[in-house]
Amino acid sequence: MKDKIEVLGIAIYTNHGCMQEEALIGSKYVVDVWVTGDLGTSCISDDLMDTIDYVHINRIVAEEMQERSKLLEHVNLRIIKRLFAEIPPLETAKVKVTKLTPPINGDVASVSVILKRKRSEMTIG
């Protein structure tokens, strides 16, 4: 069974990017996470220990976003690897990292990188 939990709109100010100015000044990011797994037990038990804890998901995102990466792809995959490493019931994880008002030549509201992985195709470690 593939039940889904969504943690959407995690707002973070941090310093990702290839340009030195981005490292110094930083910018705003929004992270969205979708995970699947079997929530059948927690539906019956009503026990936090039986579910996929979205507080834990939020903490992983916040911690990984604070470690600087040049590319959004890099930080995105780090988030996914930690999700699988620390939350065993997860079957799939999809993460969208969005940089608001990116420093590119043009009037662009945001850029996003979306990665989706299955536990079965991941090497965790």
Q: Is 1 helix (H, G, I), strand (E, B) or coil?
A: coil
Interatomic CA distance for residues 109 and 38, integer angstroms: 36
Q: Report the distance separating Cα 56 and Cα 82, nearest Å.
A: 10
pLDDT for residue 124 is more than 70: no
Among the residue ranges 78-82, 84-88, 102-106, the one predicted with the least confidence is 102-106
pLDDT band at 56, cuts 50/70/90?
Answer: very high
Beta strands in the chain (DSSP E): 3-14, 27-37, 92-100, 110-118
Residue type, 118: K
Domains and CATH numbers, the chain: 3-121 (3.30.1130.10)
